[in-house]
Amino acid sequence: MKNYGFILLCAILLMASCKKDDSNQDKSDGKGYEVITDDHLSGTVLAVDAFPESIRKVFILNQGKMGSNGASLDILRTKDGNYVCGIFKKMNPDEGAGLGDVGNDIAVLGDEIWIVVNNSGIVDVISARNEREIAAITVPTPRCIAFDEKYAYVTSWAGASYGGSSNPKGRVYRIDIATKKVIDSVEVGHQPEGLAAYGGKLFVANSGGLTLPPDYSYDKDLSIIDTRTFTVSSTLEVAPNLQKVYSDGKGRIYVSTYCDYASINSALYAIDGKEPEEAVLLGEYASITAMHGGTVYCIGNKKELDWTADPEWTSWKCSGGVKSDWNPGFDSSVSPYSIGALSEDLFLIGDAGNYEEPGTVYCYSKGSKLWSVTSGVIPGAYAAW
Amino acid sequence: MVRNVRGNPRRIRSLVVLRAILTTVVLLFSLASAYGDEADTLRSSRVVSVKSYPVVKPAETVRLDDFPAPPEMVADVIRRFTGVQVKDYGGAGGLKTVNVRSLGSEHVGIFIDGIKIDNAQNMQVDLGRFSTRGISSVALYNSRKSSRMQTAAEYSAGASVHLDTDRPRHRDGCGGVFRLRGGSFASVNPSLQWDHELGPVTLRASAEFLYNNGKYKYPFFDTTLVRENGDIRSLRLETQLFAAPRGGDIRLRIYAYGSERGFPGPVIRRAMGFPLSAERQADQNFFVQGSWTQDWGERYSTALRLKYANDYIHYNTHPENNPMALPYDLHYRQQSAFLSLSQSVLIAESFAIDLAADVQRNSLDSDAGQFVTPRRTTANGALSARFSLEDFRAEANISYIGAWDRFKTPDAGGWSMKDSFRGAWMPSISVYAAPAKWLEADLFAKYTCRLPSFNDLYYSLIGNSALKPEYAAQFGADVSLSAETAHWNGILRLSPYYNRVTNKILAIPTASQFRWSMLNIGKADITGLDVKIENNFTAGQFNAQLTLRYTLQKALNLSDQESISWKNQLPYIPLHSGSADLTLGWRKWQLGWNTILNGKRWSNSANLDEFLLAPWSVTDISLSKTFSLKPFRGRSAPSEITVSANCNNIFNCRYEIVKGYPMPGVNAFLSVEYRL
């Protein structure tokens, strides 16, 4: 009941804020904090001249160290260039435990931001305007999120473990965007990660990263779900340890794979989204990827199979199924952990440092560094609104 | 993820230290030979036998008999000591490790009757598993236990905690203790111990069972929740044999411990209906250890020690009970075999040379995915020269550790010898002087290392087989002033110290206490001061002891000048901590009061407000009364019943020692002990 009232309150306040249309007058909801916008919160002021006008805010999701309840959300407000850390906690003081444990994925849907909090079992929906929580949806061990017109789809590692199998398969949960309720789920492969929707199909990457004895093998299959029947219609073998899936919106699906830490490098593959029959290798070294405007940007480490060696970073991009050069402009002092692609020549690169202390987000425009800023612990995913 | 600090300067520095040590040894030899000539004339007045005197005093030593109701776990005894941080994950089944002067718990050797408890898997000993039943004393040494005939492992430990058992003595040739304890958390804890003398041999058998449901309330923002899945059942069975042939001492201990426990997991935001954890672990720990110490005439003594340990762990996350669980169902078996020979040669009454040699074999096997099967053979040797007069004592020693590893990866069938050898020289010196009856002082300098653990080296995906040993250089002083009157005596001890840890490997548990994330902090600089005031009053049938302890510790992270954590305080090390212990005894009544204070500290190497952990203070009280009964039939010694009550955390302080692991509020226990 408390939640409904809260949603109602948020909805009313949201409507109010829509009418005022970005006026700087903040209003209090009576609890002593402003809720219409987060304009009253300031942080490090950064140069945002290179940012396209279409971007009002960039959301940076920090994973936090597992078990520390340390997932946090940062924002970069392009109106005044303020980079504000830990904004979820600041704007939701009544949600004492904060975002939760391990923030894994973030996506924009209209004026909503959907955040997948892996180890809390929560998909948190917040307002893009003021980061106030709209809904917290329960999904066990959620990993990644994608949308079609009516539904949100969330991959989950744990859904099938009730069966008592020693080698549990994961599931994809289907959430109604309007009601924010889980309405269905379907079993896919082992430890599903990224997913993308295109043309009535969902393409789900199965990693198999936790496959138990006696198999010890990564999953190689992409599960293809028919969204009308919400069943797995086919599977397509790609390569071991699938990670991210992107749709370029023009019928091409890109799938990235991690290395198997033994002999197979990370890579990017392309698949025909209309008739998914084979996966074509586009290039190796694609452990960190992001998509913007139909182009996939890849960063990889040529020494990824030998973790005692110093990394040797390489970067490239792929558009229309064609690989080409891309140099975001970072140097050897940066250890990339994540990319946020904001335009064709504006990128954020997250450096997780030692995965324990707060990380650093670097901004590159046209191949040169604009600035860097201290983020939360393990900056891992980005969304532009 | 793992950063190693390479650097030849350290090697050069260690050579300098080495040369200094060798010079000191030579000097001691010449001093000894000089005294040796005069020994006959001096013996009666100034020379005390180097055989019986340790060179330096322990930093802390407590006899468990002195407590009105001794703390149940060794960890609870140690946490009041100066310079010590006990990391406690809460509850009877929660991991408890001890860190001395911020060296890291891997540098602390825990010794039972002189033989080290070994854990090659993660180099840490869970002190929560050792009950105080059957242990006579707990002592902490910052420099080292500089008594004769120690194992080489004792010389190589950064700091050591000794759990010692006295040889049982009974007027009637046999006797025992039966105890029943219970209270909060539905805990039931019966134990018994029986000693029997059979001619020259004394046998002891003991058994202890513990059940604790681990449920306690803790605050979670606006609400109060109950800790779930923290229950434990454990059974300890032990037999010991003691014999004392002429000039010798023989001990044999067979130990078996089994437990089954839940790990309640860190407190995090979790969707309604999903438990925080369903992880459980079953352990079986078995060891047999023996020691034979023998004097061969006046001048030559030996100690032979051996141990075999077999530790089995079954860890299961029970995904069927927890949809949030990552499915793990793993079995580990760790074995170690240890053999040590120590020799002591008394060259003069005031001068002795000790030589110790240990060999050890460790193995770890598991069915974990991509498990790298490691084997380690360690050779450890120590040479020590000890010189002892009544008011001046000195010791110099050098030990060497060499470890050969080999491992088998699941993919590449055969054994790999990659990065197989690690070796280190570890010198130390200590000097003690008592210029006046009321003043004692000692100084020590010590350079030790700890080997990387199997987890550090070979843990799948996060292990790094190229890790080097982690080094600790320690410099400490101790000044002790004492005074006494007819009814009172008091001691003030001031112990400043400086430690530098280099090549530091930091392992911090992730969401599961069983898995570790690696952080190679590199370098830490620790400056501290321990202060301890002991008071003893006696007046007729009344006696009182008051011990106040305070530790100031600046433990700075010097790993990475570019980092946000540069010169920040190391995680979990408070700047200020202390404790107060008061024991009052009147006739057969005893009352104990213990308060522990812990200042603010950070859970992260970056000292930001968001990682700040609040200071805490916890007070425990205990009351006991002993009733003397008539001797049991046919016996001459009277039997006794002791009834004791403990109330822990009487002010119901809500606190966390480790972030995400709340500690219990007020709890109480009652115990009845029958001794005959």
Across the interface, of B271, B324, B519, the residue whose CB is closest to A356 is: B519
Distances (CA, A) of B538 to A177, A238, B66, B541, B587: 77, 82, 14, 8, 12
Alpha-carbon gap, residue B113 to B163, rounded angstroms: 6
Torsion of CA B84, B90, B95, B96, to 10 degrees: 20
Q: What is the pLDDT of residue A295?
A: 95
Find, in chain A, the residue whose alpha carbon is nearest to that of B328. Answer: A212
Which residues of chain A lie closer than 8 angstroms to B323, CB-CB?
Answer: 121, 140-141, 158-159, 161-162
- Mutate which: B6, B218, B268, vs A, most A CBs within 10 A: B268
Q: What is the pLDDT of residue B37?
A: 40
In-domain check, residue B600: yes
Find, in chain B, the residue whose alpha carbon is nearest to that of A156. Answer: B324
Find, in chain A, the residue whose alpha carbon is nearest to that of B605. Answer: A357
In-domain check, residue B97: yes
The fold for domain A102-384 equals Methylamine Dehydrogenase; Chain H (2.130.10)
Q: Do the Cβ atoms of A166 and B329 come within 8 Å?
A: yes
Across the interface, of A161, A211, A357, the residue whose CB is closest to B563 is: A357
Which residues of chain B lie closer than 8 angstroms to A171, CB-CB?
Answer: none
Q: What is the pLDDT of residue A76?
A: 95
B396 close to B41: Cβ distance less than 8 angstroms: no
Across the interface, of B327, B564, B660, the residue whose CB is closest to A67 is: B660
Q: What is the pLDDT of residue B324?
A: 83
Q: Do the Cβ atoms of B268 and A120 come within 8 Å?
A: yes
Look up the domain containing B671 and give its range.
9-37+47-675
Q: What is the pLDDT of residue A21?
A: 37
Across the interface, of B461, B466, B608, the residue whose CB is closest to A308 is: B466
Query: For residue B274, what is the DSSP state?
Result: -
Beta bridge partners of B100: B84
Chain B nearest CA to A70, separation (Å):
9
Query: For residue B567, what is the DSSP state?
Result: T
Residue B322 has pLDDT above 80, yes or no: yes
Cα end-to-end distance, chain B, whole Å: 58
Sheet holding A221-226, edge to edge: A192-198, A201-206, A221-226, A231-237
* Contact residues, B window 290-309, toward A, CB-based 8 Å cutoff: none
Residue B1 contacts A, CB cutoff 8 Å: yes
Across the interface, of B324, B511, B564, the residue whose CB is closest to A67 is: B511
Q: What is the pLDDT of residue B72?
A: 85
Give pTM, 2 decimals. Answer: 0.86
Residue B5 contacts A, CB cutoff 8 Å: no
> Which regions of chain A are under pLDDT 70?
1-35, 159-167, 211-216, 307-308
Q: What is the pLDDT of residue B390?
A: 82
Across the interface, of B273, B519, B604, the residue whose CB is closest to A138 is: B273
In-domain check, residue B320: yes
Which residues of chain B lie closer than 8 angstroms to A308, CB-CB?
Answer: 464-466
Chain B nearest CA to A54, separation (Å):
33
Alpha-carbon gap, residue A316 to A294, rounded angstroms: 14
Which residues of chain B lie closer than 8 angstroms to A307, CB-CB?
Answer: 1, 464
CA angle centred on B247, ends B245 and B253, rounded to 5°: 55
Strands B108-112 and B159-164: what pairing? parallel
Nearest CA to A347 out of A331, A366, A360 is that of A366
Q: Cis link prior to A214 (omega < 30° from 0)?
A: yes
Q: What is the pLDDT of residue B563?
A: 83
Domain boundaries, chain A: 102-384
- Helical H segments across B384-482, by residue range: 454-458
Find, in chain B, the residue whose alpha carbon is nearest to that of A308. Answer: B464
Chain B nearest CA to A100, separation (Å):
5
Across the interface, of A68, A166, A356, the residue whose CB is closest to B660 is: A68
- Mutate which: A117, A124, A354, A374, vs B, most B CBs within 10 A: A354
Alpha-carbon gap, residue B643 to B673, rounded angstroms: 6
Q: Do the Cβ atoms of B325 and A164 come within 8 Å?
A: no
Which residues of chain A lie closer than 8 angstroms to B605, CB-CB?
Answer: 354, 356-357
Q: Do the Cβ atoms of A100 and B270 come within 8 Å?
A: yes
Q: What is the pLDDT of residue B131?
A: 87
Strands B589-598 and B601-602: what pairing? unpaired
Residue B3 contacts A, CB cutoff 8 Å: yes
Alpha-carbon gap, residue A351 to A334, rounded angstroms: 6
Binning chain B into helix, strand and coil, the percentages to the nearest 5 are: 10, 55, 35
Which residues of chain B lie closer than 8 angstroms to A358, CB-CB?
Answer: 564, 606, 608
Find, in chain B, the residue whose alpha carbon is nearest to that of A99. Answer: B269
Residue B573 has pLDDT above 70, yes or no: yes
Q: What is the pLDDT of residue A212?
A: 57
Indicate left, alpha or beta for A233 from its phi (over 0: left) and psi (-120 to 50: alpha): alpha
Q: Do the Cβ atoms of A100 and B222 come within 8 Å?
A: no
Q: Which two tokens stand for residue B405?
A: 């590893």
Which residues of chain A lie closer than 8 angstroms to B272, CB-CB?
Answer: 138
Which residues of chain A lie closer than 8 angstroms to B461, CB-CB?
Answer: 261
Q: Do the Cβ atoms of A141 and B270 come within 8 Å?
A: no
Q: Do the Cβ atoms of A98 and B269 come within 8 Å?
A: yes
* Contact residues, B window 264-293, toward A, CB-based 8 Å cutoff: 265-274
B612 close to B600: Cβ distance less than 8 angstroms: yes
Residue B463 contacts A, CB cutoff 8 Å: no
Residue B577 has pLDDT above 70, yes or no: yes
Q: Do the Cβ atoms of B271 and A164 come within 8 Å?
A: no
Q: Do the Cβ atoms of B324 and A159 come within 8 Å?
A: no
Which residues of chain A lie closer than 8 angstroms to B658, CB-CB?
Answer: none
Q: Do the Cβ atoms of B660 and A98 come within 8 Å?
A: no
Residue B188 contacts A, CB cutoff 8 Å: no
Least confident stretch, A11-25, A328-342, B57-71, B98-112: A11-25
Chain B nearest CA to A353, separation (Å):
8
With tokens 């779930």, the residue in question is: B228
A135 close to A11: Cβ distance less than 8 angstroms: no
Q: Do the Cβ atoms of A69 and B465 come within 8 Å?
A: no
Q: Do the Cβ atoms of B271 and A136 come within 8 Å?
A: yes
What is the CATH classification number for the domain harbouring B55? 2.40.170.20
Chain B nearest CA to A159, separation (Å):
6
| Percentage with pLDDT > 90 across chain A | 69
**Mean pLDDT, rounded, for B39-43:** 36
B414 close to B372: Cβ distance less than 8 angstroms: no
Q: What is the pLDDT of residue B9?
A: 44
Residue B141 has pLDDT above 50, yes or no: yes
At residue B628, the 3 state secondary structure works out as strand
Predicted confidence band at B221 (pLDDT cuts at 50, 70, 90)?
confident
Chain A nearest CA to B347, separation (Å):
51
Residue B243 contacts A, CB cutoff 8 Å: no
Q: Do the Cβ atoms of A168 and B327 come within 8 Å?
A: yes
Q: Do the Cβ atoms of B319 and A158 come within 8 Å?
A: yes
Q: Do the Cβ atoms of A357 and B604 come within 8 Å?
A: yes
Across the interface, of A101, A210, A377, the residue whose CB is closest to B268 is: A101
**Mean pLDDT, rounded, for B168-180:** 91
Buried b (16+ CB within 10 A) or exposed e, B580-606: bbbbbbeeeebbbbbbbbbbebbbbbb
Find, in chain A, the residue whose alpha carbon is nearest to that of B266. Answer: A67
In-domain check, residue B490: yes
Domain count, chain B: 1
- E strands within B105-186? 108-112, 115-116, 137-141, 159-164, 174-183
Chain A nearest CA to B545, separation (Å):
41
